[in-house]
Structure 1
Amino acid sequence: MKTSAELPLRILTHNIRYATSSPFKGERPWSERKQLLLNELVYNTRNHDSFVCLQEVLHNQLVDVLSGLNAGQTTTDHNNRWDYIGVGRDDGHQAGEYSAIFYQPSTWKLRHWETVWLSETPDVPSKSWDAASIRIVTIGVFTHRSSGQTVLAMCTHLDDQGSRSRLEAARIILRKIEEYRSGKTYGSDLSGVFLAGDFNSQADQEAYIELTASGSPLVDSGKQGDAAAHYGNEVTWTGFGYEGQDPSRIDYILLGSGTHLKTPWTVEGYAVLANRFDDGVYNSDHRAVVVDGRLLFDTVAG
């Protein structure tokens, strides 16, 4: 007899602002921001089955984040330790920005992962159309060790200049989701899908519209459940206070169905966290988005 069960899961996404050598007015260097950012990540993932999706991560920042998440753990103690998937977008190794997904191997078994370049040549570092920068999506298939449920996790950062490149990137991402859901790329019975990141697209612009259209398997987690219960802010990009641009909502966590067509997610909580406190230091020019979801799945009673 089939019965239903739920897997609680926290997803956090944050564009952490790359470690520039030429900070904007109002921006502090990474050496001053990193502990604030690490405190955010550690606090908001403690005692949760979590994924952390970060954008604009240079390799030295990747090392800092991984070390910070694993602070206090020994190399032989794998309980609660963190690992990551992702590559630098410029060369497919360590050059350029990562769109990294951090996870805990004791909780999630990594089954498969890949990086796809959001261009006309998706298998090699490249850019196309009107993109100002090379752009990627990091894709991972993870199986939850306790429940056996498999999740397709995706993290991306779309172009800030090219409208067409954002639209084409959204279409590439949707095609990749369909490949995984159909078993063409990885023959797994997916329980659910999520796409997290900085889309550089507001809700009335091309990438968001394409990714959340009626025919898409994805929905905006920020529009699920009771909006009155949301915690924190609405906008996710603030700048450092001197950019002369209006703050906007461009960072998202989209949730979708896996192999089966029904929507398996229930959103218990949605938050946009503060990126500045009493000390006046912005930990990034973006705010983190956090979603607490429950992934519904069927079990067979013995």
Structure 2
Amino acid sequence: MTAIRVLSYNVRYANRGDHHDAWHDRRDAVARLVRFHRPDVAAFQEPLPDQRRDLRERLPSYEFVGRGRGTGGEGEGCPIAVRADRWEVADSDTFWLSETPDRQSVGWDAAHPRIATWARVRAVGGTTELLVVNTHFDHVSAAARRESARLLRERLPDLAAGDAGAGEPGGSPPVVLVGDLNCTQGSDPHRILLGDDPEADAGASGTGGDAVDDLLALRDAAAVADLRHGPETSLTDFARLIDGRRIDHALVSPGVDVAAFATLADRDDRGRYPSDHLPILTRLSL
């Protein structure tokens, strides 16, 4: 078994209206939090190009992949950072959560373009592989969140199949899907990702065979973890927690054992949270 720690963190875009919680006052604390917990993979949501540059500079032991959601790679991104001493990126790409996922676009009735960045990572000097998918669902449109979840379920088998890695039935690697889904556990998008689509016709699933069925049987890491730690929410106003709003999630395929799931409530040296989201950290075994 290979141990891997995956962190997901919405770092909040650089909003000039945040005043004393502006990015330049938070960026060092965000990077220190990541360095202290030393995840093998860190998936970020919302950083703008300058923020992505700041994170790369402050996390030099990580290799970053991903682009912004706008034309030419600008705008908010969902970058994935991989610890280069333990893992290497075998392949990666970004697609849009829309009816035209292979080009820059806004899906359904979303307020903004939304994307998913994925990376197939391989243990340095080994053969263990993992597919990591990082995404950020729309914060306004419930329909866009549902359709984004359906699109991800459709795309996951092909992404995992890739060059036929090892670990899952049919030769595909295990999968970890993380991100800010802008919905809580048990909501329609969350259920769809777990294979319980409330609008699906009976018998509609399983068209891809047993291997695909097994791959798409994602589980909520927080629900199946041997150990749970931290608050039940993942939202803050920088000073306080906002109760009952765990909208940041980690979902795993059957080939992944979840040793622990934590919502990290670290504060910075000002006594404030470094973002309006708490990062989530999963300890996994492949």
TM-score (norm: length of structure 2): 0.86
Aligned length: 263
Q: CA separation in 1, counterparts of 2:16 and 2:121?
A: 36
Give secondary structure in 2 for the equivalent of 1:64.
Answer: helix
Q: Any gaps of 5 or more consecutive residues in structure 2?
A: 166-170, 197-212
Q: Which residue of 1 aligns with 2:30?
A: 37
Q: Which residue of 1 aligns with 2:118?
A: 139
Q: CA separation in 2, counterparts of 1:92 and 1:170?
A: 25
Q: Which residue of 2 aligns with 1:75?
A: none
Q: Which residue of 1 aligns with 2:201?
A: none
Q: Kindly report which structure 2 residues correspond to 1:40-55, keeping only aligned pairs within 5 A, or say none.
A: 40-45=33-38, 50-55=40-45
Q: Kindly report which structure 2 residues correspond to 1:15-94, keeping only aligned pairs within 5 A, or say none.
A: 15-23=10-18, 28-45=21-38, 50-70=40-60, 81-93=61-73
TM-score (norm: length of structure 1): 0.81
Opposite residue 265 of structure 1, the aligned amino acid is V
Q: Work out whether residues 10 and 293 of structure 1, in 8 Å CA contact, stay in contact via their aligned partners in 2.
A: yes
Opposite residue 286 of structure 1, the aligned amino acid is H
| Aligned counterpart in structure 2 of residue 172 of structure 1, from 133, 148, 151 | 151
Opposite residue 105 of structure 1, the aligned amino acid is A
Tell me, yes or no, if structure 1 residue 281 matches structure 2 residue 272.
yes
Q: CA separation in 2, counterparts of 1:42 and 1:119?
A: 34
Q: CA separation in 2, counterparts of 1:97 and 1:131?
A: 15
Opposite residue 57 of structure 2, the aligned amino acid is S
Q: CA separation in 2, counterparts of 1:83 and 1:134?
A: 25
| Aligned counterpart in structure 1 of residue 5 of structure 2, from 4, 7, 10 | 10
Superposed CA deviations along residues 9-65 of structure 1, whole A, max 9, x for unmatched, are 0000000001111227xx6111111111111000001xx6x0000000111111111
Q: CA separation in 2, counterparts of 1:141 and 1:63?
A: 22
Go from structure 1 to structure 2 and tell me whether the alpha carbon gap of 1:242 and 1:41 turns closer, same or farther (over 3 Å shift).
closer
Tell me, yes or no, if structure 1 residue 268 matches structure 2 residue 247.
no
Superposed CA deviations along residues 175-210 of structure 1, whole A, max 9, x for unmatched, are 1111134x3x54433331000110001113221111
Give secondary structure in 1 for the equivalent of 2:70.
Answer: coil
Give secondary structure in 2 for the equivalent of 1:173.
Answer: helix
Once superposed, which parts of structure 1, at least 4 consecutive aligned residues long, lie more than 4 Å away? none
Q: Work out whether residues 164 and 173 of structure 2, in 8 Å CA contact, stay in contact via their aligned partners in 1.
A: no
Superposed CA deviations along residues 145-204 of structure 1, whole A, max 9, x for unmatched, are 2331111110000000011111111111111111134x3x54433331000110001113
Opposite residue 224 of structure 2, the aligned amino acid is Q
Larger fraction in helix: 2
Tell me, yes or no, if structure 1 residue 148 matches structure 2 residue 124.
no
Identity of aligned residues (%): 29
| Aligned counterpart in structure 2 of residue 112 of structure 1, from 60, 68, 91 | 91
Opposite residue 50 of structure 2, the aligned amino acid is N
Give secondary structure in 2 for the equivalent of 1:202.
Answer: coil
Q: Which residue of 2 aligns with 1:211?
A: 193
Go from structure 1 to structure 2 and tell me whether the alpha carbon gap of 1:88 and 1:277 turns closer, same or farther (over 3 Å shift).
closer
Q: Any gaps of 5 or more consecutive residues in structure 1?
A: 1-5, 71-80, 257-262, 296-302
Cα shift at 1:247: 4.8
Q: CA separation in 2, counterparts of 1:107 and 1:277?
A: 28
Q: CA separation in 2, counterparts of 1:192 and 1:120?
A: 26
Q: CA separation in 2, counterparts of 1:52 and 1:32?
A: 21
Give secondary structure in 2 for the equivalent of 1:57.
Answer: coil
Give secondary structure in 1 for the equivalent of 2:58.
Answer: helix
Q: Work out whether residues 82 and 89 of structure 2, in 8 Å CA contact, stay in contact via their aligned partners in 1.
A: no
Cα shift at 1:107: 2.3
Q: CA RMSD in A?
A: 2.0
Superposed CA deviations along residues 206-228 of structure 1, whole A, max 9, x for unmatched, are 211111135632111001134xx
Q: Work out whether residues 260 and 283 of structure 2, in 8 Å CA contact, stay in contact via their aligned partners in 1.
A: yes
